Amino acid sequence: MTLFLEQLLNGVQFGVMLFLMAAGLTLIFGIMGVINLAHGSIYMIGAYAGTFVATQTGSFWLGIPAALAAAALAGVAIEFLVVRRLYGRDHLDQVLATFGLILIFNQAVTMLFGRQPLFVQMPSVLDGSVELLPGLSYPIYRLAIIVVGLLVAFGLYLLINRTRIGMLVRAGSTNREMVRALGVDVRLLYTLVFGLGALLAGLAGFMAGPILAVQIGMGEQILITTFVVVVIGGVGSIRGAFFASLILGIVDTGLRAYLPGLLRQVMVGPEADALGAGISSMGIYLLMAIVLLIRPKGLFIRNS
């Protein structure tokens, strides 16, 4: 039972990380209609900038503003220099341009920081584990990620449902032309949304630093999974991205944890392990395919 709870927490923690990435991506997708493959690069920039500052100053906490600032700046720069010219263009052009950006950022980071993965020192407050229930101890850092993720989700909820910007964002994701007709400075709105998305990706990247490897190409690893989340949740829907992230995180963790065991009861050990690993790798894609076949627009978008 405690093992199950621990796996559930693991799923939630993975889901929360995905949400930080997916929130920005779904907004950019939904409001501007732009497919931004470079979102993973921003995640990487956040991780590198934050880690670099944290290592140089010796303070993990100083890494946070550095990561956020670098990611937001990179995001705004990408929007201003490249993406702005791609609104209203074919998805294909966006794919090609942002693919080019991935190559550029990966190589630029290699040239700046070298090919060796970076080391991140975790602050001692967050190091170690706490006992949540008898027999269930859990790493503090992971709990912190869950808390931060949920806070961000709540903050986004308030921002979108309670503020004027949020209203425009909501309007924009359902009817882009309408917002323009209202005489809103769409350019500024777009830049802001892009910057916000980048900020969240940078935060995710920096938080991932101590538990993952800060290395070249770390963005592409999570990018595809994030796209899966966005599509399952429904493009443009923050709420959808939130629930889809959690579902995906839990399903993915659950499959990895329990599928080989289940298979082992019906077949020989090593084969069960290999097959189980194979199926659980496919798991999220299978889930997406099934969701799209039943609800072609995603879980949280009403089919009109």
Partner 1 sequence: MPMRKTLLAASALLATTFTALAEDPVKIGMITTLSGPAGYLGQDVRDGFKLAMEDNKLGGVPVELLVEDDGLKPGQGKQIAERFLSESGVKLFTGIVFSNVAGATVPDIVDNEAFYISPNAGPSNLAGKECSENYFVVSWQNDSLHESAGQLATNLGYKKAFILAPNYQAGKDALAGFKRFFKGEIAGEVYTRLDQTDFAAELAQIRAAKPDVVFQFHPGGLGITFLRQYEQAGLGKEIPMVLAEPSMDGVTLAAVGEAAVGVNVSAHWNTDFDNPANKRFMEAWNKAYNRPATYYSSQGYDTGQLIASALKASGGKLDDSFRDALRKADFQSVRGKFAFGPNQHPIQNWYALKVEKGADGKPVIKTVGEVFKDHGDAYSADCKM
Partner 2 sequence: MNSENSFKRPALLAAVLIVMIALPLIADATGYSALTSLATRILIYGIAAASLNLVLGYGGLVSFGHAAFFGIGGYVVGILYQHYSLEEPLFGFIPGTNQMLITLPVAILISGLAAAAIGALSLRTGGVQFIMITLAFAQMLFFLFVSLKTYGGDDGLIIRRTNELPGLNMRDKQTVYYVCLFITAVFFALLWRIVNSRFGNVLVGLRQSEKRMAAIGLPAYRYRLMAFIISGMGCGLAGALMANFLRFASPDMMHWTKSGELMVMVILGGVGTLFGPLIGAAVFIVLETTLAAWTENWQLALGFILLFVVLYTHGGVQALVSRLMGKR
Binding region for partner 2 (CB under 8 A): 29, 35, 82, 85-86, 90-93, 95-97, 99-104, 106-108, 110-111, 224, 227-228, 231, 235, 274-275, 277-278, 281-282, 285-286, 288-289, 292-293, 296-298
CB atoms within 10 A of CB 130: 10
The DSSP element (H or E) to which 86 belongs, if any, is: none
CB 244 within 8 A of CB 227: no
CB of 247 to partner 1, least distance (A): 16
- Cα-to-chain-centroid distance, residue 303: 25
Q: x/- string (CB under 8 A) for partner 1, residues 74-103? A: ------------------------------
191 binds, among partner 1, partner 2, none (CB under 5 to 8 A by kind): none
Number of residues that bind partner 1 (CB under 8 A): 51
* Pairwise CA distance, residues 202 & 206, whole Å: 6
Does position 59 interact with partner 1 (CB under 8 A)? The reply is no
Does position 55 interact with partner 1 (CB under 8 A)? The reply is no
Q: Report CA torsion sign: 261, 265, 266, 270.
A: positive
CB atoms within 10 A of CB 285: 12
* Pairwise CA distance, residues 261 & 283, whole Å: 16
CB 9 within 8 A of CB 146: yes
CB 199 within 8 A of CB 148: no
Give the one residue of 106, 173, 226, 237 binding partner 1; rule: CB under 8 A: 106
- Cα-to-chain-centroid distance, residue 294: 25
Does position 226 interact with partner 1 (CB under 8 A)? The reply is no
Backbone angles phi, psi at 35, to 5 degrees: -90, 110
85 binds, among partner 2, partner 1, none (CB under 5 to 8 A by kind): partner 2
Q: How are beta strands 129-133 and 136-139 bridged, if at all? A: antiparallel
Give the one residue of 118, 146, 171, 292 binding partner 1; rule: CB under 8 A: 118
Q: Pick between residue 14 and residue 190 the one whose CB is nearest to partner 1.
A: 14
Give the one residue of 216, 241, 291, 299 binding partner 1; rule: CB under 8 A: 216
The DSSP element (H or E) to which 133 belongs, if any, is: strand 129-133
| Window of 72-80, 195-203, 237-245, 256-264 that interacts with partner 1 by CB under 8 A | 256-264
Question: Looking at this protein, which amino acid is placed at residue 144?
Answer: A
Give the one residue of 208, 248, 288, 301 binding partner 1; rule: CB under 8 A: 208
Binding site for partner 1 (CB under 8 A): 3, 6-7, 10, 13-14, 17, 106-107, 110, 114-119, 121-122, 127-129, 137, 139, 141-142, 208, 210-218, 221-222, 253-254, 256-257, 260, 269-270, 273-274, 276-278, 280-281
